[in-house]
Structure 1
């Protein structure tokens, strides 16, 4: 399945010239980027080097490998560009601005899977895997909507990811 123009171009180069996917166009954008840009980088290039060449420094921001909705929050710039990565999104760090949950229900109202993400996040804080399972954490599609709509600026999606990892580890035991 080809899902974007970049993949189609790389597939054509592979078929016609036998080239492997060795370069990737990565979009660097977000609230904390003064000059959003697209950069062509080799697959395997450390993100830290990209930041050095583009003049960006990672101070008190949230770095997302991918777009703001489906990307994964990464704690630092010590990872590399892989063949599937198309974007780096740099946002204000919600941990710096987060306040206690208001119990407004916005995350639940907007969840396409019909979950209660904040309840799953609470179970993570308590380390209660039974509650994580009861709240169907594994059914989360990780769309990021809960974090996006949260007026408390809580990274709800990342907490649900933690729940999924905890449940996966529990099944391995």
Structure 2
């Protein structure tokens, strides 16, 4: 067990080697792949287990975005885009509540670093730039308020020191 304030360093003897032919690659290396399960007790890059189905969106559409708002008190609020419908989700199989709609071609994103923790909202952008930048506060899904005078569309956003 690691002592307090001492970093734990994980070292892997293998990795991804895409520069040599397969016959010359070490047994601890692989030639391709993604989503590896990193285990500090193993020296091998093993494929991560697939996700299990927890719930299916009520509209039966593919899920394009799952994002979580982390509030100041530590609680989480999950928002999901399934097709053109945006849902709040409580984590149970039937826990979907529709909170808004977007273009079915939209690909919303709200990574953890786009959380405004002090003000308790998350900024959602659209990789396809079909939708304006959105805001989710755990209850309301709406366009992000700004003073730019035009529609505000963005693929990516980052929040640092409570500034986007």
TM-score, normalisation: structure 1? 0.26
Of the two, which has the highest radius of gyration? Answer: 2
Larger helix proportion, structure 1 or 2?
1
Larger strand proportion, structure 1 or 2?
2
TM-score, normalisation: structure 2? 0.27
Relative contact order, higher structure (CA 8 A, sep 6+): 1
